[in-house]
Structure 1
């Protein structure tokens, strides 16, 4: 059980002027957009906001509760700038950069830090930290806190990337940011709202959670706690509590997009996950402002020998693949870089790079990049064989060893057996002597399976299944 006390976080600002949590020294604002700036002041106070990149002053008035919000036009990437907010008392934020801002969330594989130790430790950690001199990469780490209701504040601060600070960064977020910073030559801000071992339900907002009958018990439990009106200990796995405490305080900050690495803790309800993730994405896009198109890039979970697995891992990988049907989404595949003995594979460098390939190609216009490994498109039955066709094959399919592994086929009896496979142009032919009349194919379905089908850019094929048969 993850338990935390539900309490309010204090802001260290003048008592009559408070800015929302992300507005601090060394922050990054999303470039070339109307970026919301908000906070609290005395009710009725006139609030003036100006960025040093412009002579324009934006004004608004605090409402009866003291809340205020205004939007400022941000320039092309650059900085450092200052951001001045004046409501009688003046706050001037220093070292403000303007570039690309991404929110990253999920469970431990996204939370995993560069430095060794609890919730951290990556491949070549000492070397990576020593060379992490990227002052235009900034990282905001949101403090872990569940909440009964949507909060307006959270704990966290911006850190400038250096060998002294990078060890505490989300490794996936850092390597993603490093790729973008080098390729785009613009500042990158990464907002890290993660909690180890948590389920997707906790990251839904309350309204979304209420749409799912499976979450009715959580909803009723939280309603009862709210009605009691007294301090309580909250389980961080309950629907909506992490959105309330760790995501809502950040909205409606202007973002380019979202990164998501989660799913390990939802293997038991993979069928519902197929609706939970798209619903979460819709809500995030509605809550955060920024460019009209906000990509949502996620990671298909890696190989690991889960105890008692009878197909749940393969099933949720396939659900994740199917979530690519939602517009402006992308998926990094990790079938070749997992560790069957470690649920936290050390090669976070490649995870970040593969997410960045999706962003560079689909968001930033690098259209010639091969951004994904092979993705199942369709299959046809050809007698005793099955032909599987793929999208995203780049310059062609290749096998990473002496022969292709990871395929299974079944007939009408629904009993899957290990299959042989060979590449035939843009297809893979799959067969097994024990199944003379195959009707379904699976690939990478075993929990710890590490199959070796790639495209010529050495990006691995995503796990998939063609059947929808129940998992035991």
Structure 2
């Protein structure tokens, strides 16, 4: 009899140990699922175990699946635009319930410290922003800082409802983005996944397989210094902080990074391109990728490293379905972490509202270089997004150069969407540049008082 009881106990313990189905932590109470979409739900369990999934928004259609021999399972389910909180029940040998689910727009916010910076760390009018953080339809999923040599399946985090207590610990830019987006879309729930790490270069956010095929990426990595505050090894942040969520349906990405790539700025345009395309590949969708151009900052007077990163970001606008937030007027040349985060977050929202949701018809860019050419004794520079083009002071930040590549200040006069330049020191100008210093604060604005991006271009 004693042997029989021991055998039964061992069997019960074994069944309990191996039978439990599991969900990744991103499927937790208070989550936001992308509305009107086909989403993937996945997890783990005992090989051969049958799982029944019941969604409150589709109670008449139970979805069934089996755990495969590798202990994995996944199903696809459609969401709608129901505005009421929903529930998900999963039945295997155990029962999992996920409650207070909202359907809305899900965005991934990533990058380095300027994206990571929260209201508790100190931002312009931070106390007011914290006090007014009352929209409970905004939900945060903050991924902890982790690095790994190999791609991970899971991470430890949970969804949190927006409140003064939770908002102040999350990315301030991402919060302001979500708050404006929610209001302007008609009180729609917004889920923000925060995956950021201050001081990190772009290379650690790119999948490892991309480095095997790209010699420029390989060279870029060799110029990254080792720092005490984070990894510099290729893919280490991607593996631990992006890979585990690549099956989760998102609307798009907002990105603020580049300061830590001033050490290899000449490679940044290629690096950034690879990051964008690789993320779209692993998420299996051509989502919008919106990014902030790094703000003016004194990286040293003996280099153009900050300018080169900004230039790479400007030129990255040729990648389809991208958009750039201009920050030249809200930076702090003496502080690499400018505290005026609200305009940046709301400019991200304006990009999404214009380009992705087609909800507002409002200028979302600062003046952008279009073309340049010589006419008589003058040099003409044309701009797009240049309605009511004007200077906010009399200082000219334009320079021209000839065959010797020595740049001289140029006098500038605005005519409609053009700037007419002249210099008595350059007879045959071949090059033109604007705001070409690391800490240069642009003074050329459009009707929305958005600043022009600096640039370096050859004259046509």
TM-score, normalised to structure 1, is 0.88
**Paired residue for 2:288?**
295
SS of match in other structure, 1:405: coil
Task: Describe the superposition over 1:155-192 as per-residue Cα deviations: whole angstroms up to 9, x where unpaired.
Answer: 22211111121100101100110110110020001101
Contact persistence 2:21–2:45 (CA under 8 A): yes
SS of match in other structure, 1:340: coil
Contact persistence 2:217–2:267 (CA under 8 A): no
Paired with 1:336 and 1:283, the residues of 2 have a C-alpha distance of 31
The answer on 1:273 being equivalent to 2:274 is no
SS of match in other structure, 1:135: coil
**Paired residue for 1:334?**
327
**Paired residue for 1:21?**
25
**Paired residue for 1:83?**
88
TM-score, normalised to structure 2, is 0.90
**Paired residue for 2:445?**
454
The answer on 1:380 being equivalent to 2:373 is yes
Task: Describe the superposition over 1:22-72 as per-residue Cα deviations: whole angstroms up to 9, x where unpaired.
Answer: 111111110111111111111111222232111222222211111111111
Contact persistence 1:41–1:66 (CA under 8 A): yes
**Paired residue for 2:427?**
436
Runs (5+) with no aligned partner, structure 2: 1-16, 223-227
Find the partner of 1:62 among 50, 67, 87: 67
The answer on 1:239 being equivalent to 2:234 is yes
Query: How far 1:268 sits from its partner (Å)?
Result: 2.7
Paired with 1:203 and 1:377, the residues of 2 have a C-alpha distance of 32
Contact persistence 1:404–1:421 (CA under 8 A): no
**Paired residue for 2:11?**
none
Find the partner of 1:347 among 327, 337, 340: 340
Contact persistence 2:112–2:256 (CA under 8 A): yes
Question: Which deviates further from its counterpart, 242-251 or 273-282?
Answer: 273-282
Question: Which deviates further from its counterpart, 261-270 or 170-179?
Answer: 261-270
Task: Describe the superposition over 1:350-376 as per-residue Cα deviations: whole angstroms up to 9, x where unpaired.
Answer: 001111111000100125221111111
Contact persistence 1:113–1:170 (CA under 8 A): yes
Query: How far 1:16 sits from its partner (Å)?
Result: 1.6
Query: How far 1:99 sits from its partner (Å)?
Result: 0.3
Query: How far 1:15 sits from its partner (Å)?
Result: 7.0
The answer on 1:284 being equivalent to 2:279 is yes
Task: Describe the superposition over 1:122-181 as per-residue Cα deviations: whole angstroms up to 9, x where unpaired.
Answer: 101111101111100011110101101100011222111111211001011001101101
Question: Which deviates further from its counterpart, 17-26 or 431-440?
Answer: 431-440
Paired with 2:177 and 2:75, the residues of 1 have a C-alpha distance of 30
SS of match in other structure, 2:237: helix
Find the partner of 2:258 among 253, 259, 263: 263
**Paired residue for 2:214?**
212
Query: How far 1:377 sits from its partner (Å)?
Result: 1.1
**Paired residue for 2:202?**
200
**Paired residue for 2:388?**
396
Contact persistence 1:201–1:209 (CA under 8 A): no
Count of matched residue pairs: 436
Higher normalized helix content (fraction of residues): 2
**Paired residue for 1:102?**
107
State the superposition RMSD in angstroms.
Answer: 2.2
Paired with 2:123 and 2:39, the residues of 1 have a C-alpha distance of 35
Contact persistence 2:299–2:305 (CA under 8 A): no
The answer on 1:127 being equivalent to 2:158 is no
**Paired residue for 1:145?**
146
The 1:444–1:206 alpha-carbon spacing in structure 2 relative to 1, beyond 3 Å, is same
